[in-house]
Amino acid sequence: MRALIALLPGDGIGPEVTAQAARVLTAVGELYGHSFALREAPVGGIAIDQTGDPLPAETVALCQAADAVLLGAVGGPRWGPSALVRPEQGLLGLRRALAVFANLRPAVPHPRVAAASPLKPAVLRGVDVLIVRELTGGIYFGEKRREAGWAEDLCTYTEEEIARVVRVAARLAQSRRGRLTSVDKANVLETSRLWREVTTRVVREEFRGIELEHQLVDSCALRLVQQPAAFDVIVTENLFGDILTDLTAVLGGSIGMLPSASLGEEGGPGLYEPVHGSAPDIAGTGVANPYGAIGSVALLLRHSLHLEVEATAVEAAIAAALESGALTVDVADPDDRACSTGEIGDAVVAALSLHKETR
């Protein structure tokens, strides 16, 4: 296979973790006979510094021409939330330019890092949850107004916006354990009542074998901490998904462990990124956790390039590296030697090569 991958390292620790993810992607190409062309472009704060625009036209053009996009992180204190031009505008604009509307965030805790989670090992046993977050609607993209003494953010959803992300989640549930939990706030919000009605209709008419349950977002948050193994696939709107997916970081031991994929209609380039932020306080120190970025490579191989064998190999290499004790400081036990960002990349690439040799 020949594929063009756009690399957007971004800000803070983004370049550090993206470099390790790119190493793994290159190794996959060499081991399995693929040709991956990796081309880099600026986004976020660094793009503001270079061009005055958090999403330059050249970056958009590269991403739209690519087979997939691998992103690091955007943001930092140099570009505060009150600034007129902010790094996060680049991320929202990129999602819009790529027409990605379904954000997939899996959380599968590895036993080697279970001690890093504040939850009891018994609670984490058997956890394999996938959250599908609607990405381009809701309050983040609604009309906003600010006047003296008050502000307004409008939350809107159309039936089609809801139906298309529910279809993605239901298809994923079909390939897993057949259970779908739709999360809303239907006891208060009109958009949530529409969400519940559309979800019920789509699943009933198009996915008859799926077991569907509805849950309010507040009770879902509680249940994710108390009984995370009870969930299979969760689908929810933009704001609720943003919050719940960060909550699942406690399941994996660290937010640095979690990958993500943002998908649109079939055939368009997907957007892949770790779920952590730019972490400017540790940028440049060599301690950032690249497992989330490397896990995003596995999702890229699976969903955009349709290379399931290679995706599974990357996931197996991550598991092997963790089992060998390749742990960054955020997940290491007090008695462990914490590895650097680069050492994690070394361990995963070595495990990937060994996996290929033994197959």
Q: Cite the active site residues.
A: 140, 185, 218, 242, 246
Distance separating alpha carbons of residues 24 and 182, to the nearest angstrom: 35
End-to-end Cα spacing for the chain: 20
- The residues, ordered by sequence, that sit 6+ positions from 41 with a Cβ below 8 Å of its Cβ are 6, 7, 8, 56, 58, 59, 62, 63
Inter-residue contact 328 to 293 (CB < 8 Å): no
Cα–Cα dist 162/202, whole Å: 10
Q: Report the distance separating Cα 193 and Cα 215, nearest Å.
A: 12
Encoding tokens for residue 165?
Answer: 């992300």
The C-alpha atoms of residue 228 and residue 212 are separated, in whole angstroms, by 17
Rounded to the nearest 5 degrees, what angle is found at the Cα of 16, between the Cα atoms of 300 and 344? Answer: 75
Question: Percent helix, strand and coil across the chain, each rounded to 5?
Answer: 45, 20, 35
- CA-only gyration radius of the chain, Å: 20
| Alpha helix segments (H runs only) across the chain | 14-32, 45-51, 57-65, 87-98, 121-124, 159-174, 190-206, 217-226, 238-247, 249-252, 291-303, 308-323, 341-357
Two tokens, residue 23:
């190493």
Q: Which of 315, 277, 355 is nearest to 76 (CA)?
A: 277
Beta bridge partners of 38: 5
220 token code pair: 């879902």
Q: Tokens at residue 239, please? A: 């704001």
